[in-house]
């Protein structure tokens, strides 16, 4: 998406100037005050823009597009390092390609790291343990 193709969203000229200043890589390390000077707007205007859903959506889309345009050299650098034997770079590339998924063992234990003792528990206590284990499993998968 380019700033010229924002036909679906109606932004003011000042909002467009602010977007241009925000997505310009040369302004990456500049303060909000400096960004506002470049866009010829106030800090209040800046913060008000980020309260608007439409402005934030456009900003996020433009930011994603900018990253997509710059990703090829990063991937090439990762490939180069993986070929040199870097385990971490190779692992990351395989994960990105969906060819590697680290399996994590989520073992559940009872008192002092031993097995969960259920022989002397009531039905309610057993149900409570089962619910806790299921809840932990669900959180770990998310």
Please write the tens of the pLDDT for every residue from 15-35.
999 999 999 999 999 999 999
The CA distance from 55 to 43, in Å, is 15
Cβ distance 45 to 14 under 8 Å? Answer: yes
Determine if residue 112 is left, alpha or beta; phi over 0 gives left, psi from -120 to 50 gives alpha, anything else beta. left
Residue 77 lies in a domain: no
Residue 126 lies in a domain: yes
Share of the chain above pLDDT 70, in %: 85
Q: Is residue 98 part of a domain?
A: no
pLDDT of residue 96: 86
pLDDT at 109: 67
Task: Provide, for the chain, the percentages of residues in helix, strand and coil under a 3-state DSSP scheme, each rounded to the nearest 5.
Answer: 65, 0, 35
Q: Is 107 helix (H, G, I), strand (E, B) or coil?
A: coil
Domain of residue 128, residue span = 111-141
- Note whether residue 83 is domain-resident: no
Q: Which residues contact 75 (CB under 8 A, 6 or more apart)?
A: 93
- Looking at the domain assignment, is residue 61 inside a domain? yes
**Cβ–Cβ under 8 Å, residues 55 and 16:** no
Q: What is the pTM of this model?
A: 0.55
For residue 86, being part of any structural domain is answered with no
In this structure, what token pair is assigned to residue 133?
Answer: 């284990």
Q: Which two tokens stand for residue 61?
A: 């889309």
């Amino acid at each position: 998406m380019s700033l010229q193709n924002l036909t679906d969203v109606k932004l003011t000229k000042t909002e467009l100037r602010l977007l241009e200043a925000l997505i310009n890589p040369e302004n990456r390390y500049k303060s909000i005050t400096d960004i506002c000077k470049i866009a010829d707007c106030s800090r209040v205007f800046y913060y008000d823009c980020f309260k608007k859903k439409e402005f934030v959506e456009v900003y996020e889309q433009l930011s994603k597009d900018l990253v997509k345009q710059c990703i090829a050299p990063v991937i090439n650098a990762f490939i180069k390092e993986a070929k040199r034997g870097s385990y971490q770079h190779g692992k990351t590339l395989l994960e990105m390609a969906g060819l590697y998924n680290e399996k994590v063992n989520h073992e559940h234990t009872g008192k002092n790291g031993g097995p969960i003792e259920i022989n002397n528990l009531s039905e309610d206590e057993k149900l409570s343990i089962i619910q806790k284990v299921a809840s932990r499993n669900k959180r770990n998968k998310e």
